[in-house]
Amino acid sequence: MTPTTSQLLETVTTRGNPQIDPSLHVWGWQIVLYLFLGGLVAGIFILTAALELSSGERARTRALGAMPFVALLLLSFGMSFLWLDLAHRFWAWRFYATFRPTSPMSWGAWILVLVYPAGLLLGLGSLDEAQRAWLRARTPGFLRGLLARLTDASDAHRRAVLLTSVLMGVGLGLYTGLLLGTMPARLAWNSAVLGPLFLASGISTGAATLLLLKLDENERRALVRWDLVAIGVELVLLTLLLVGFGTSGEAGRYAAHGFLGGPYTAVFWSLVVIMGLLVPLAMEAIEARRHLPSVALVPVLILAGGLALRWIVLAAGQASAFRLLP
């Protein structure tokens, strides 16, 4: 029997291997949570630093001042999920035995390490005097000197710390999407748009997390404005992603079909586009225009939509082209 064009395409791009077809069962829920938490932490870093840069003042509420430390805790949870996914968990240290400039995983491993000192300095400089006193009282004596030096360094070089935090957040947010985009054999991941898309989504979910806190009114208004921009950018990037698939030949058509009539259509448009983007966009726009009190439902919808986006993209990328056929 002469193979069809689609069969040849499947053999070349995803290989006719029983370990791969009809679906690649390599990355599961652990990676979904890792990508989600990584993007969320990136958004928290960018936004907390941006708030201080724009206002010229430290966080006006204690909850916001403590968020860099909460972000590092969330990132640690995300990395633990990543570690659980590894087949050879106790060899993970080998990622840090070398640095390979051509390897996205090598870049990601080192970005994850560098985020910790940046987040520590960001957090120490964000604390008010009462929080600093509380932290000193609970720090072991032999570490108090180091804590004082780090706090003084964060205060003395505050602008550099803030800009570094933004840079680390952008790197972390982009990496979560670029990691998938470097695997062209998986049709739904073969797009340069994934990096910016996951970054914009991370900023939006980071804003949603901060909006669940008790914030100063000016801080809240700034976050709502920035979240509106992030959601708008997400919608544009999603459009570019689907248009790019639709105009890139047969392989792209298969990838686009997964979201436009295929198996992921209903969940993608309902959970991601409508519930996670359009409804929050409308509600935040009304809130910003009429100065209405915030509704906790909006951040919850954004967080659910951000999680759904990563789950659907990960699942679609691991699906065989045969499963995406019209």
Which domains does the chain possess?
A: 5-324 (1.20.1630.10)
User: What is the rounded average pLDDT of the residues 252-260?
Assistant: 82
Neighbours of 15 (CB within 10 A): 13
DSSP state for residue 27 in the 8-state scheme? -
Q: Is the dihedral of CA 313, 318, 323, 326 positive or negative?
A: positive
Counting every residue, how long is the chain?
Answer: 326
**CA dist 115 → 1, 30, 131, 239 (Å):** 55, 21, 22, 31
What are 57-89's pLDDT values in tens digits?
888 888 898 999 999 999 999 888 777 766 666
**CA dist 128 → 134, 162, 318 (Å):** 10, 16, 47
With a CB cutoff of 8 Å and minimum separation 6, the contacts of 104 are 175, 178, 179, 182
What are 209-227's pLDDT values in tens digits?
999 998 888 888 999 999 9
The model's pTM: 0.85
- In this prediction, residue 143 has a pLDDT band, given cuts at 50, 70 and 90, of confident
The tally of CA atoms less than 13 A away on the side-chain side of residue 16 is: 7
Q: Who has greater pLDDT, 253 or 10?
A: 253
Which two structure tokens, joined as six digits, stand for 257? 């079909």
Name residue, tokens 């969320």: 40
Query: Cα(326)–Cα(246) distance, rounded to whole angstroms?
Result: 13
